Amino acid sequence: MSSPNAESTAFRSALEVIRAVEPRVADAIGAELTDQRESLKLIASENYASPATLLAMGNWFSDKYAEGTVGRRFYAGCQNVDTVEALAAEHARELFGASHAYVQPHSGIDANLVAFWAILADRVESPALKRAQVRQVNDLSEEDWFALRRELGDQRMLGMSLDAGGHLTHGFRPNISGKMFDQRSYGTDPATGLIDYDRVAEAAREFRPLILVAGYSAYPRKVNFRIMREIADSVGATFMVDMAHFAGLVAGKVFTGDFDPVPHAHIVTTTTHKSLRGPRGGMVLCGPELADQVDRGCPMVLGGPLPHVMAAKAVALAEARRPDFADYAQRIVDNAQALAEGLLRRGATLVTGGTDNHLVLIDVSGYGLTGRQAEQALLDSGIVTNRNAVPQDPNGAWYTSGIRIGTPALTTRGLGTAEMDATAELIHTVLSQTTPGSNADGTPSKAKYVLDPALADKVSRQATDLLSTHPLYPSVTLA
């Protein structure tokens, strides 16, 4: 274990070196630490990486080009990159029980693109591919490549709709996934907000997708991946799971059996931050049948891998293999359920009526607000959240009717269920005292709001007090 003095020295020294070149950047880095220390961070997709993970990103690996894979690089001098990439992949395989791990994706979107193209390259039977007599997209001639692109419009994807909690990379029209595929969405039961597996099966039988996607960014319940795989198999679809949000709950063995996607999916994608508590980046897990295609992610989809981030992934994944990570993952869920219960007792309306995972989705229309109004009013009060659509949202994806909150970051700081109830009180206080504002012409505004600045300041101070006994990076002092 490193000593607190070593960590403080490392970060102080780094800022000193940066300040000598561009002091404004050093100041912004220091200010960000202060802001994060003083704010209730409730964004479900954010967390706090360990000092070791953060420091692993600031080194000479940043200077390396390393296209290719371990032992098969297009650049010489990558033996040390091979070491960290192999370590990251080894930790990922052991942590999730996967036979193959690809740790190069720069983000969750990149990981999903690698998965999509790997599936297409492996599964698509087209005249272009037959003429070329190859199975690899990156081997196609220019003529066959354009022929394949014309035919991609016939490839179908079935994924969770954005307003039901799915992600924009699951076929949302403005996203590249919505342009690559003929896409259809499955939603949730209007009465309960829960996935109706019979309706998903019906949609799959009718639509006959090439890819069935499961996973979410704003669905506060577990997904039964065994049932989803059965649905995929019934129509001959490849079953893909995007576990970016809940990967930490899988790694920590909170989600097991039918709720662990790895044994059931043909291919699994994830980010390495969020509940996994690593650096910002992506990863793909799969079986041997797709491994060769996935390993062609660079140059098929990705540019050069980022060796410094792969080094940080190796560190974070090693941390996630420690016994205390399982305790952390369980506390994430315990805290989310305590937060949900605290909000419900105070009269808030929650999508699905609660949570099984790390996130809670508040329907703020019960407070007479839009998501955008609620988000900013909470931010004014020292509570960092993000607005999010709710099922059949009348305000759309920009203004929204919901606020998504999550517990991974506060759990990392050591807050427990008692503090979650206090957090629920602060959230309810702000939302119940915020009213919609008006535009200059007197018409109702979906963005403007009215909140007493004195109340916002009081809540902000209460939030800071709540955090004071759970300091962020207590081993790091910059002064």
**Residue 193 one-letter amino acid:** G
Our answer to whether residue 65 is catalytic in this structure is yes
Catalytic residue flag (residue 280) = yes
For 291, phi then psi, to 5°, come to: -60, -45
Q: In angstroms, how far is the first alpha carbon of the chain from the final one?
A: 23
Of residues 69, 169, 270, 271, which has the active-site annotation? 271
CA 263 vs CA 73, 89, 147, 211, 360: distances in Å: 31, 17, 35, 17, 27
Dist. CA 199–CA 189, nearest whole Å: 9
- Active-site residue flag, 196: no
> Is 67 marked active-site?
yes
Q: Which of 7, 144, 163, 242 is catalytic?
A: 242
Give Cα separations from 474 to 43, 273, 418, 467 (angstroms): 21, 21, 21, 12
User: In sequence order, what DSSP letters do the residues of 136-167 get, joined into one string?
Assistant: -GGG--HHHHHHHHHHGGG-EEEEE-TTTT--
Of 404, 314, 315, the C-alpha closest to 360 is 404
Which residue from 313, 308, 240 is spatially nearest to 273, judged by alpha carbons? 313
Of 73, 156, 221, 280, the active-site residue reads 280
* Cα 103 to Cα 406: distance, rounded to the nearest angstrom: 25
Angle, nearest 10°, between helix axes 417-432 and 371-380?
110
| Token duo for residue 90 | 């080894």
Q: What tokens does 451 get?
A: 């909140």
Structure tokens at 223: 């997904």
Residue position matching structure tokens 């394949």: 148
Active site residue 64: no
Catalytic residue among 274, 296, 404, 446: 274
Token pair recorded at residue 423 = 């957090």
> Which residue among the candidates 67, 139, 151, 182 is catalytic per the annotation?
67
DSSP E strand boundaries for 161-310: 182-186, 211-215, 238-242, 267-271, 282-286
In 3-state terms, what secondary structure has residue 198?
helix
Q: Which of 65, 93, 421, 458 is catalytic?
A: 65
Q: What is the bridge-based pairing of β-strands 100-102 and 282-286? A: antiparallel
> Mind telling me the catalytic residues?
65, 67, 242, 271, 274, 280
